[in-house]
Amino acid sequence: MFHKEGHKIILSAFVTTIVLVLIAHLFIENFWFQKTIEVGAIIFLILILQFFRNPKRSGTLANEHVLAPVDGKVVVIEEVFEKEYFNEKRMQVSIFMSPVNVHVTRYPISGKVLFSKYHPGKYLVAWHPKASEENERTTIVVENKVYGPVLYRQIAGALAKRIVNYAKVDDEVTQGTDAGFIKFGSRVDLFLPLDTNIKVTLNQKVKGGVDIIAD
């Protein structure tokens, strides 16, 4: 199953692969050069397909906990001052996605969207300390009556050139469902209440919509 954000790119990659294979087969006489082009074209198509995959996930849904919004590795767990929306200290948990991770963003909690804003910006590497404030990004806040408000921020990396955000203010959203997509390498920051119970550790790999980040 592939994400809808990749349908046009997948079609283009498929057509490009066919064209390259036909050109190599019909017009290149050198056997090894021909096979190199054909294999390269097929590898290119496979990479595009794996990047836009959208596996079905069946995590435990509950208002008492926060699910991982993306696949990747936990690279930050620290207390910070969140100044865009809360203007107070929060616990930040950041998840870095490499180009080989699933890049679907999923809602970490169910509830009502209170805030959703796009920020143009730079394309620093996603693990850069200033990426959260200077890179292209979107900031979304979802609140439910049990857990309270949770802010998550989609951040573009050095390769990511487009962030897709589906969250709109006043939407009622469901935990674990598609919230957006970030194309080609990126990071997502979560900002949680200070008294939250963090359930992950640094360098832990997590699955979006499945693993519990905090409760």
Active site residues: 186
Contact yes or no for 148/130 (Cβ under 8 A)? no
Burial class (CB in 10 A: 0-12, 13-18, 19+), 199: middle
Enumerate the β-bridge partners of residue 93: 77, 190
Radius of gyration for the alpha carbons in the chain, expressed in angstroms and rounded: 20
Nearest to 97 by CA among 121, 79, 74, 129: 74
How far, CA to CA in Å, does 39 sit from each of 19, 45, 46, 126, 130? 13, 10, 11, 31, 40
